[in-house]
Structure 1
């Protein structure tokens, strides 16, 4: 097989790149650069099989903050009880 066909085809005047920059957003739009048969197959699979859906849950920040406050208060209460038990086991009067 011709080495040029397996390496990729680049339009005249464009620089040769082997991978897009990491900051580039993935796109299913046709490219001016064809990176070879394996990359084309990966590109087709990626674009045609995977659809990303928004799955984030809406969070009420005030409710979450109140719940964190209740958890912190319960933690402090439990810590005091644990400290009293440890002091009792060590023979100290708390």
Structure 2
């Protein structure tokens, strides 16, 4: 057994920050591509309203593409592109959960 299921489940509940130290949210779930057996996104809840407040309804979450993840440790660090979400009017690959 390679330990992959344990590693995926340990992502749930971790706090997510941009690599500039801005709180983004907390991992509620992961999005998987079962054909490639790869994590493709992190479903975040308890998100930072300053980043996403005007783009989604209160109490909803977002899915952050896993390619934005920079590091996984006690917390998860993602690219600072997530900080630009609050200023961007372009459609990004986030989705309402």
TM-score norm. by structure 1 comes to 0.19
- Rg larger in structure: 1
Identify the structure with the greater strand proportion: 2
Identify the structure with the greater helix proportion: 1
Higher RCO structure (Cα 8 Å, ≥6 apart): 2
